[in-house]
Structure 1
Amino acid sequence: MRTKGAALATATNWITNFVIVEITPIGIQNLGWKFYIIWTVFNATFLPIIYLFYPETANRTLEDMDAYYRSNPSLIVIGDADAISTKRPTTYVQHQIENIHERAVYKVAHLESDKDKDLSVHVENMG
């Protein structure tokens, strides 16, 4: 899923840049400096969109973001403490600690079962 998302993001970026490159000379030729006002307004409209709809990703692992989206969050993130916190939420830290503990228990159990097996080594002298 991540690969498809990255491909879609890259394609969107290239298409958008192509459109901008095609439109800008025509806009400047017809409107002059006023064309930059259009770009300023267009870019300014994205500030509230980013503020309201994009969760904070600083200090988060990919697994944290995956867990966040799996919890079916609201579309508007401004009221969600986990989404806007600049520090890593404790729920994700606790989940990671539990995950590490489970892996450690599994490895110890696996090592104990390996001790019961007959281990032999084959050595050849070449010479």
Structure 2
Amino acid sequence: MAPWVYQAEINSLAMRTQGAAAATATNWVLFAVFNITFIPVVYFLYPETACRTLEDLDVYFDRDSLHPTIIPINDKIAKQCKRPLEAIEAEGSRVAATKAIDFKASTSEHVENVDV
């Protein structure tokens, strides 16, 4: 049960306000400690996603990428704020491959077999 509800049940009428204050303060201090703990975790263990497209992130997390692990410790490319050159080159090759496809020649037809 939530700590701010439980304390109202167990404290006497004279101590109910102090108990509510202590329970609420404990709850918020615990929440603040967890949030402060996550700051270095996010800073050191999460790759930078600013200035990157979804395709860049898909390539970064791909098993066949140049990055040996998804945890970017000592990976300068994953931590830089600018878009990496490898992502720009990969986008150029994706655009060139898309332009090379002849969409008019590769039309398909949808056929359904419906038994009546």
Give TM-score, length-normalised by structure 1. Answer: 0.57
Do residues 60 (structure 1) and 52 (structure 2) align? Answer: yes
Which residue is equivalent to 2:99? 104
Which consecutive residues of structure 1, in runs of 5 or more, have no partner in the other structure? 1-21, 115-127
State the 1:102 CA deviation. Answer: 1.9
Do residues 80 (structure 1) and 75 (structure 2) align? Answer: yes
Map 1:20-35; keep pairs closer than 5 Å.
23=2, 25-26=4-5, 29=20, 31-32=22-23, 34-35=25-26
State the 1:86 CA deviation. Answer: 0.9
Note the alpha carbon deviations across 1:85-105, whole angstroms, 9 max, x for none: 111111011011111112222
Is this contact kept in 1: 2:4–2:23, CA < 8 A?
A: no
1:40 counterpart (26, 32, 46): 32
CA distance in 2, matches of 1:105, 1:33: 63
% of aligned pairs identical?
Answer: 31
1:49 counterpart (41, 46, 50): 41
* AA matched with 2:22: L
**Number of aligned pairs?**
90
Give TM-score, length-normalised by structure 2. Answer: 0.61
Q: Over aligned residues, Cα RMSD in angstroms?
A: 2.8
Is this contact kept in 2: 1:51–1:78, CA < 8 A?
A: no
State the 1:37 CA deviation. Answer: 2.4
Q: 1:90 to 1:47 in 2, by over 3 A?
A: same
Give runs of ≥4 in structure 1 deviating > 6 Å: none
Is this contact kept in 2: 1:58–1:86, CA < 8 A?
A: yes
Tell me the SS of whatever aligns to 2:47.
Answer: coil
